[in-house]
Amino acid sequence: MAMTDVLSAEDIKKAVGAFSAADSFNYKKFFEMVGLKKKSPEDVKKVFHILDKDRSGFIEEEELKFVLKGFTPDGRDLSDKETKALLAAGDKDGDGKIGAD
């Protein structure tokens, strides 16, 4: 499954482009811009599974660094600061990874 099976290619391009500068990534704005906030829980889980490259059932810090590339191959890598902020926002139980739920 490709990201464009769930989200609009145009929305993805705009969102990734909006955060192309180093240390500009804002996960709340990004997820809103790509249309995830309007998607069903099932569609959000589909996106999660696309981003879970190692199929572990979790998105770990190393996978988060490349989250923009998960949406489009020409996305940039997140900085360590951006990666840690995204992990902190999604890691509700403090185990260092983000689960689908």
Give binding residues as ranges: 52, 54, 56, 58, 63, 91, 93, 95, 97
Give the residue ranges of the annotated binding site for Ca(2+).
52, 54, 56, 58, 63, 91, 93, 95, 97
- For tokens 């890691």, the residue is 91
Q: How many Cβ atoms are within 10 Å of 24's Cβ, its own excluded?
A: 13
Strand partners, 58: 99
Q: Is 18 in contact with 28 (CB distance < 8 Å)?
A: no
Q: 61: burial class by Cβ within 10 Å (0-12, 13-18, 19+)?
A: middle
Q: Tell me the residue type at 4.
A: T
